[in-house]
Structure formats: structure tokens, C-alpha cells
Chains A and B, each alone.
Chain A
Amino acid sequence: MPQAKRILVACGTAIATSTVVAKAIEDALRERGIEVITRQCKASEVASMVEGMDLVVTTTPVPTNLGVPVIQTLAFLTGIGKEAVIEQIVKALGTK
């Protein structure tokens, strides 16, 4: 079994919107048979927590020069355009 991908989910609090996003990503990718581990953090902690992560998904602006792909999206909160973002995440993780 391939190793689970690690996704860092960021928002302003590491509590409110990032929890919604992290759970939504876990559910959506599990449906597609992709195992992921999510960790949540505050936007100000992204730089120090990004090591060992495969992808950063954030609801708020974060630095982009992190060495891993960054996806900034509100789709998981508003429900609009959610499928497209999930595709984007799957592609960024490089899983078939």
C-alpha cells in the first residue's frame, strides 16, 4: 500500500474554517480511495509546519515559496466549485 499523502490545512485560527476544509478533503479523497493525513495550523505557522507535507490547502493567504504546491480556496466553505478543487488536489498530490 502506498504511503498516505500529507496535507497541511491552514486558516486564521487552525480551528474554524480549516477544520471544515480538512474534514471535507479527507471525506472526498477517501471516496476516491486515496488515503491522506491532514494537519491543521494557523496561517502564521505554515512556514514552520510545512516540512514533510505534500500539499498546503489554505482558506487565507499564505506565503507561496514553500517548496510544495499551495492551493488557496474557499470552495469547501461555500460549496461552490468544490468538485473542481478536489480534482486540483488529486492532481497536485500526483495520485492516479
Chain B
Amino acid sequence: MEGFLSGLKAIIDALGATVLLPIIIFIIAAVMGAKPGRAFRAAVTIGIAFIGINLVIGLMWGSLTEVGQAIVSNLGIQRDVMDMGWPSAAAIAFGSPVGLWVIPIAILVNIVFLALRLTKTVNIDVWNYWHFAFLGSLVLAATNNLAYGLIAAAIAAALALFLGDWTAKAVQSFYGTPGISIPHLTSAPGVPFAIVTNWIVDRIPGLKDVEADPETIRKNWGVMGEPVILGLIIGIVLGILAFYNAGDATTVITKVLKTGMNLAAVMLLLPRMVQILMEGLIPVSEAAREFMQKRAAGREIYIGLDSAILVGHPAAISSSLLLVPIAILLSIILPGNRVILFADLAVIPFVVALFAPLMRGNIVRMVIAGTLELAVGFYIATGLADFFTATARSANFAIPENAVRITSIADGFLWPGFLFTKLAEWLNVGGLVVLVVLLGVAMFFYLKNQEAWEVAAGAPASK
């Protein structure tokens, strides 16, 4: 088994995601009943997407490395971990050795859980299986053992089902989405932060009654929600910090504006490339949906979807607009932090989306909880940067000379990544056992006292 896996890993390393992932996607789609022609076209599309993403990541990594090194030598602050954004994280995760197998693994976990009645969620959001691959590949980077990585991905898939079930009632009543759950590992891990924040704020006189109007915020801060403009502004600011002493005025202005344009370009191009990847996954995701729905027929089920369906809500948009400048400020003032934020400033709505039901859309509270989660996140991301960067390497992404290390808010800032990676690093297979036990205990208490748990996550209490 060990020999087989290491042999397999050698082949994977040689071929790379651009060749291997299309082959595997074709096989998965065909096995689950997609038409061969369509599956083939989808598979080729995915390979193309990887080539495109690689180009854009190369551009971004190059620009940010230059900027990061200049800032370190100029200002003497250690900020050498660059936020490359979740589109990079997703591509890296799917392109990693774990990512190749994550789709069948997650479907298998889902079907087993449905059969054992451990979940109501049918997670048809195949796209977001990248989170499982991401956690699995961090574990692979920490243990250098592909089998552990694959098991970790399976545990992550189970964790998502549990969090999806737990928060489903809250989501359904607040967002008005009957029959839907959100087994999404960027949003769901924030719920504990929301519970703690809410509990504390409820006990602070004055603060507990403060509210803010989402419409005013959206009008005044709307530009923070437009990635291209945000990329340009941040690029120019980083450019100034990095190159203000790079030479005469012309050199400085050219370098600053170029950095701004490069980073604005990344904000538009990276999502476009990832869109191609998504397009290639559609046949698989349709086939998976039918495959699983057939096996869950005749039961009360939740359909697991992306939190992308929630984040248009005014509470989510407005609180994350406010969190953009807060996050930037945190990145500067937090001692020991080494992360510079960039691409994932656009992903903050996903981090806060599941706070809303519990906080009844109270933006002040959502901002406080978001600030807490992000503040902790900087340290998690700083601690995980080596593993994150190693994972990018294992997915054969183009890494510039003397590159800085990388991270992303989704999911490099979140506690599941920390928990999975550190447990596996310290205890190896024992760490995986601990994860299974922790999840098992949480699920046991949840299934025993479902309603109390659901109310704690923000579901309305029945009389």
C-alpha cells in the first residue's frame, strides 16, 4: 500500500495537475453517468483552467514577492507572507495530490453518512470540495504521507456535513432558503466566534443595543466591494510602501503605478480563470447531484450549497465592507503577524455570512465577531504559511525565484486548517484519530440535543 501510494505520488508529481486532473475528472464524470463527449470537453476545460490560473498566479506572486521584499527592507517589518486569495488556494488544493481524489472521497463520505443517518445534507456543491482537498493537502505537507492527507480530506468532508446540518435551520429561517444547508468550510467555522461574541455583547450595556444601517454603509463603502478598484488602490499603496525610495521620481511613479495595475489585473483575471475551472466541473457536479439525490430519495434532506448564495444579503455585504479597512489595519498593528493582505479582502463576506442568523443581521456585532476571527486568523496564517507554500509547490505551481511564502483568508486564516495541520504534525496518525474523536463527540451531542444546538447557532426557538 505504502509503495503503491509513493509510486502513485511520483507519477502525479511528474504529470502535474494540467494533465492528470483532466484525466481523473473525465473518469469520475463518466463513471457517474455524464455523457462521454461532454465529460471529455469538461476535462480538457479543467486542464486549460489550470494553465490560465498558473499564468495569473505567476504574475501575482512575482509582483507581490518584489513588493514584499522591498517593504521588509524599507520598513524593517516582517511581512513576508502574501495573501494570494482563495482562487489560488482552490486551484492549489485541486491540483495537489489530495485534490485528485477528493471528489470521489467526499461523495463516498456523504453517501455513507446518509446511509447511517448521520447527516441530512446532500452536499452537491462539488466545487467547494476544494476545502477538503486543502485541509488534506496541508496534512500531506505536514506528514509527507498521502494516505494521511486523503483521510484528512475525508474527515474535512464529514466536518462540513456536520457544520452544514448544525447551521441549516438558522440559515433557512434568516436567509429564507428552505431545504438548503451550507456545508462550506469558509463560512461555517465562524459560528463559534459569533456565539462567543454575541454572548459577550449581550452583557455589555450600551453596546448591546447598537445597530447600524446596512444601506448607508453600502453607499459610502461600496467601492470596497469592487475587487478591481480595491486591487488598484491596495496595489498603489503597497507600491508606495515598497518603492518610495527606489530612485528618482519617474522610477518611483512608474514602479508604483505598475504595481497598482498588476494587482488590479490579478483581481479581474484570477476569478476569470477560476470561472473556467468551475465551468469544467459542471458536468461532474450535475452527475454527482443526481447520483446522490437518487440515493437519498424519500427522506428529509437538505441540499448543500455554496455560501455564495448568502453573501448578497445587505448584512453580509455591509459588515464585510467595514471589515476590509479593519483587516488591513490589523495586518499592520498585530505584533508577530507576517501576513500582508491582498486578494482575499474580497472574500470577507464568506467569513461573516453565517454570523448573521445568530446576530439577526446586526452589523455592529458581525463586525466585532469578524474582527476577532480575523485577528486570530493572522496568527494561524503566519503559522501555516510553510505548509501552504509547500502545498503550492506540490501542485506544481510556478514559483518565482526567492519567492515569499503565501496564504489566503479562505481557508488559511481559519481554525480547521490549524487544528488539522498541527495535530497531524505532532501526533501523525494519532492526530487523525483525535480529529475523528472530536468530530464524533460533537456530532454525538448535536444529535442528542439537536434543537438546543440549532438555536445556539441562530435558529428560531420553537415554543
Contacts and interface: CB of A to CB of B under 8 A. Distances in A.
Contact of A17 (B274, B305, B349): B305
A16 B278 contact: yes
Interface stretch (A28-36, A58-66, A83-91): A58-66
A45 B12 CA distance: 39
A74 B182 CA distance: 13
Nearest to B274: A15
A60 B316 CA distance: 11
Contacts of B227: 42
Interface in B297-348: 303, 305-314, 317, 346
Contacts of B279: 19, 23
Contacts of A53: none
Interface string A51-82: 00000001111100000000000100111100
B309 A42 contact: no
B309 A74 contact: yes
A11 interface: yes
Given A16-B306, A20-B282, A79-B289, A60 B226 contact: no
| Interface SS of chain B | helix
B312 A19 contact: no
Contacts of A58: 312
B363 to A, nearest CB: 15
B124 A12 contact: no
Nearest to A45: B226
B225 A45 contact: yes
Given A43-B317, A45-B226, A78-B305, A12 B311 contact: yes
A20 B309 contact: no
Given A44-B222, A74-B180, A12 B306 contact: yes
A44 B278 contact: no
B305 A40 contact: no
Interface in B188-222: 218, 222
Interface residues of A, number: 29
Interface in B348-404: 349-350
A93 interface: no
Interface residues of B, number: 39
Contacts of A78: 124, 179-180, 289, 303, 305
A86 to B, nearest CB: 16
Contact of B271 (A13, A23, A47, A60): A13
A80 B289 CA distance: 11
A44 B282 contact: no
A74 B312 contact: no
Given A15-B87, A58-B312, A61-B314, A77 B124 contact: yes
Interface centre among A47, A48, A78, A80 (most CB of B within 10 A): A78
Nearest to A44: B225
Contacts of B179: 78
Nearest to A72: B312
Contacts of B222: 44, 47
A92 interface: no
A58 B177 CA distance: 14
A52 B412 CA distance: 39
Contacts of A79: 286, 289-290, 293
Interface string B162-200: 000000000000010101100000000000000000000
A45 B311 CA distance: 12
Contacts of A25: none
B305 A74 contact: yes
A12 B305 contact: no
Contacts of B244: none
A23 B42 CA distance: 13
Contacts of A60: 308-313
Interface of A: 10-20, 23, 40, 42-45, 47-48, 58-62, 74, 77-80
Given A12-B311, A16-B278, 5 more contacts: A17-B306, A17-B308, A19-B275, A19-B282, A20-B278
Interface of B: 87, 124, 127-128, 175, 177, 179-180, 218, 222, 225-227, 271, 274-275, 278-279, 282, 285-286, 289-290, 293, 303, 305-314, 317, 346, 349-350
14 contacts: A17-B308, A23-B279, A42-B346, A43-B311, A44-B226, A60-B309, A60-B310, A60-B312, A62-B312, A74-B180, A77-B305, A78-B180, A78-B289, A79-B286
Closest CB pairs A-B (n = 6): A60-B312, A43-B312, A44-B225, A12-B308, A12-B311, A19-B278
